[in-house]
Chain A
Amino acid sequence: MVQKLECLKETPSQTAGPYVHIGCTPNFCGIAGVYEADLGVAMVNEKTLGERITIRGRVFDGTGTPLRDALLEIWQADSNGLYNSPSELRGAADPNFTGWGRCPTNMETGEFIFETVKPGQVPFNDGRLMAPHVSVWIVARGINIGLQTRIYFDDEEAANAQDPILMRIEHKNRVPTLVAKREGSAFVFDIHLQGDNETIFFDV
């Protein structure tokens, strides 16, 4: 016999279901007056530092149909590469940038849109710099456990080539599934749950 390792089990995940809006974005689905505004609607204000960008896209199922009932959350560093989080020990992040956004996909078109700033570079655990990126979490009816991935940017070619996470991807032809493409003033990031272009999802 050895000593016992006391460790609880994480509460198991269950799907967010089709009515996730009621709990997470009630104003979006017509339940007005309970909360002043839906959380995560605004990441920036007029004083936020850095380059303003729009990230938009859709989430496609295995038949190529966009999900019109998904909810996305993003989390990113500010323009100097600092997170607005108590666990950020390297310095104070821009107080005018939350770093966190939440957006339901449009009930007709399936599109999500985030108004944010281009994140700065954040160090990997060995000190190398990671390329600018945004962490993404996707929940929806039919998704049993929230999907995690990252958004990188196609105008950061040099940084992307040195990114410790992108570099460890075995199938290089899948790397573009993590890279948003600039189209005019916006970056477009489509997410594919299945198929030839299945997005690389993370176990982190």
Chain B
Amino acid sequence: MSNKKLETGAFFQRDRQWHPPAYTPDYKTSVVRSPQRALLSFDNTLSEITGPVFGHSILGELDNDLIHNFAKPGQSAIGQRIIVHGRVIDERGKGVAGALLEFWQANAGGRYRHKREGYIAALDPNFGGCGRTITDEEGYYRFRTVKPGAYPWPNGVNDWRPAHIHFSVFGHGFVQRLITQMYFEGDPMIWNCPIVRSIPGKAAIEQLVAALDMNNTIPMDARAYKFDIVLRGRRSTLFENRVEGN
């Protein structure tokens, strides 16, 4: 980051037609958890364009390796070994350096390690389900895990979540904060899921589907999936109407 010009412009307005709306009745929990009044809009102030930044010093050696970070010594998680990699860029296509990514997922059988989880699939004693990493100078990241399983959830009588990995993403400003989910190329379950379908457009949904990436697959070891993440872009500050000294 040191040799790059620091950017302090306001972030582009969020396209709320592209994101899921708050109220999506086919995803039942949203019905009583969706604000109903108009949002208050205003241009970013310092409170929005600033945000926390995390150094690589917070990371442990196995934070980006879900196959081993909860496993007993010499053991590993059960499931299809995969590498998830990609780049965090902003809407202008610029790499976002130093972005903290946190991810969590079910195990290969579709079971989460959580006390509110009631699915009958077995827990894997060697799989915790969480990991994190920080993007490099160009915005690239990668981690290793097992492919999560699909699982049923209480919504409709017979609703199943497609295999997915949850992502929490920090950019450089607090209003770039984003939580999303990554799906897997070729999974027919994607198009039936009420949570996926909370997103109105097909192109937006496809932005969440990671591509099988055979070129980055490690022979006899782990397949790769590529998942790029786009955060909000920001204006140039050349003509910002800031008072001198601010």
Contact = CB atoms under 8 A, between A and B. Distances in A.
Contact of A89 (B8, B42, B48): B8
Contact of A141 (B20, B29, B115, B128): B29
Interface in A121-179: 122-127, 130, 133, 135, 137, 139-148, 150, 165, 168-169
A95 B54 CA distance: 14
B45 interface: yes
Given A17-B166, A19-B104, A123-B46, A10 B15 contact: yes
Interface in B62-120: 62-63, 69-70, 89-93, 102-104, 112-117
A114 to B, nearest CB: 14
A204 to B, nearest CB: 5
A142 B51 contact: no
B166 A11 contact: no
A133 B47 contact: yes
A7 B92 contact: yes
A189 interface: no
Nearest to A85: B50
B128 A145 contact: no
Contact of B230 (A10, A62, A150, A194): A10
B217 interface: no
Q: Is the interface of B mostly helix, strand, loop or mixed?
A: loop
A2 interface: no
Interface of A: 6-24, 26, 29-31, 33-36, 39, 61-63, 65, 67, 69, 73, 75-77, 83-90, 98-100, 107, 122-127, 130, 133, 135, 137, 139-148, 150, 165, 168-169, 193-194, 198-204
B139 interface: no
B34 A194 contact: yes
Contacts of B207: 9, 11-12
Contact of A85 (B21, B31, B52): B52
A11 B231 contact: yes
Interface in B1-17: 1, 6-8, 12-16
A31 B129 contact: yes
9 contacts: A10-B18, A11-B169, A12-B207, A16-B166, A16-B179, A19-B104, A88-B50, A100-B52, A126-B241
Nearest to A67: B33
Interface size class of B (residues with CB under 8 A): 35 or more
A103 to B, nearest CB: 14
Contacts of B238: none
Interface of B: 1, 6-8, 12-16, 18-22, 24, 27, 29-37, 39-54, 58, 60, 62-63, 69-70, 89-93, 102-104, 112-117, 128-132, 166, 168-169, 172-175, 177-181, 195-196, 198-199, 203-205, 207-208, 229-233, 240-243, 245-246
Contacts of A144: 19-22, 24, 27, 30, 34, 198
Most buried by B among A6, A85, A141: A85
B34 A193 contact: yes
A67 B29 CA distance: 11
A52 B54 CA distance: 24
A142 B30 contact: yes
Given A14-B181, A75-B47, A26 B173 contact: no
Most buried by A among B58, B91, B174, B233: B174
Nearest to A16: B179
Given A35-B63, A85-B50, A198-B36, 20 more contacts: A6-B93, A15-B179, A15-B195, A15-B198, A23-B104, A26-B130, A35-B130, A39-B58, A65-B32, A75-B174, A88-B46, A123-B243, A125-B240, A141-B33, A142-B33, A144-B20, A145-B22, A202-B39, A204-B44, A204-B48
